[in-house]
């Protein structure tokens, strides 16, 4: 991020009294997600999944991004984690999730458009590698204090700021937040620390420390 952008963002943060609410060692929000699950080869039905369904009794990686079908999210962020999926799971991680403030219909179509391989098993979470979490009402995003409005800047409305984290049994083990954190109508959409390679490097460092 350029120096003048950092100064502008910092000044705006002080004006807004901005503080990132959750950090490492905090528990992630307890919310419900309205998802679509396959019932047979061609049909789907609504299914409510909770934070515990996704995060309890497992160690997972979650990365959140501003929106399905948007440029950086589609060209780099999701593809990077899809490519590194097996590497990430080989380092003591049970699952990799991608979260966005989009509904379940949009998230599925985005996954298909991205070329993700569908898991057609009835009751599956949609795709075989990275699983897409629809936070359509932004309940999880708000609970993380990662909600931002991009209505004037991009016409998006409420979206998630870009970040990634390791969640261990519902508790934040490590967190990477882009830039200075959520800012409404930010002209910048920084993408420097929440990428797949940064996550892989962190997981490798933890493995090395444990040896």
Domain ranges for the chain? 3-210
CA-based nearest residue to 88, from 208, 211, 202, 209: 202
Q: What's the CA gap between 37 and 176, in Å, rounded? A: 30
Greater pLDDT, 51 or 123: 51
Give the pLDDT mean for 9-38: 73
Residue, of 108 and 12, whose pLDDT is higher: 108
Q: In the CATH scheme, what is the code of domain 3-210?
A: 3.40.30.10
pTM of this structure: 0.88
* pLDDT recorded at residue 211: 58
Q: In this structure, are residues 6 and 180 in contact, taking their beta carbons and an 8 Å threshold?
A: yes
Say how many residues make up the chain. 211
Q: Give mean pLDDT, residues 118-130.
A: 94
Which pair of structure tokens corresponds to residue 168?
């261990």
Using CB atoms within 10 Å of the CB of residue 198, give its burial: 0 to 12 exposed, 13 to 18 middle, 19+ buried. Answer: middle
Q: Are 27 and 170 in contact (CB under 8 A)?
A: yes
Q: What is the mean pLDDT of residues 178-188?
A: 87
Query: Is the model's pLDDT at 87 over the cut of 80?
Result: yes
Between these two residues, 105 and 17, which has the higher pLDDT value? 105
CA 134/CA 54 separation, integer angstroms: 12
Is 50 exceeded by the pLDDT of residue 3? Answer: no
**Buried/exposed 28-67: b ≥16 CB within 10 Å, e otherwise:** bbebebebbbbeeeeebeebebebeebbeeebbbbbbbbb
Buried b (16+ CB within 10 A) or exposed e, 101-124: bbbbebbbebbeebebeeeeeeee
- Nearest CA to 69 out of 102, 117, 36 is that of 102
Angle at 39 between CA 34 and CA 42, to 5 degrees: 110
Can you give the pLDDT at residue 59? Answer: 98
| Per-residue confidence (pLDDT) for residue 153, from 0 to 100 | 74
Segment among 87-96, 164-173, 188-197 with least mean pLDDT: 188-197
Between residues 188 and 68, the one the model is more confident about: 68
Q: Is the pLDDT confidence value at 16 over 70?
A: no
Would you please indicate which residues are annotated as catalytic (active-site) residues?
Answer: 73
């Amino acid at each position: 991020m350029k120096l003048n952008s950092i100064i502008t963002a910092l000044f705006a943060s002080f004006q807004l009294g901005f503080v990132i609410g959750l950090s490492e060692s905090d528990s992630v929000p307890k919310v419900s997600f309205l998802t679509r699950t396959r019932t047979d080869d061609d049909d789907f039905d609504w299914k409510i999944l909770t934070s515990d369904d996704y995060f309890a009794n497992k160690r997972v990686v979650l990365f959140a991004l501003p929106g399905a079908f948007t440029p950086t999210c589609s060209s780099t962020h999701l593809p990077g984690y899809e490519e590194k999926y097996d590497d990430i799971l080989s380092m003591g991680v049970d699952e990799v999730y991608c979260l966005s403030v989009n509904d379940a219909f949009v998230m599925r179509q985005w996954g298909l458009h991205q070329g993700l391989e569908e898991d057609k098993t009835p009751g599956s979470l949609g795709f075989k590698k990275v699983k897409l979490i629809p936070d359509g009402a932004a309940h999880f995003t708000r609970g993380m204090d990662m909600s931002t409005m991009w209505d004037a800047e991009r016409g998006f409305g409420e979206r998630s700021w870009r970040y990634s984290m390791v969640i261990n049994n519902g508790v934040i083990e490590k967190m990477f937040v882009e830039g200075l954190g959520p800012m409404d109508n930010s002209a910048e959409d920084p993408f420097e620390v929440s990428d797949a390679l940064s996550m892989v490097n962190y997981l490798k460092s933890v493995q090395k420390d444990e040896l």
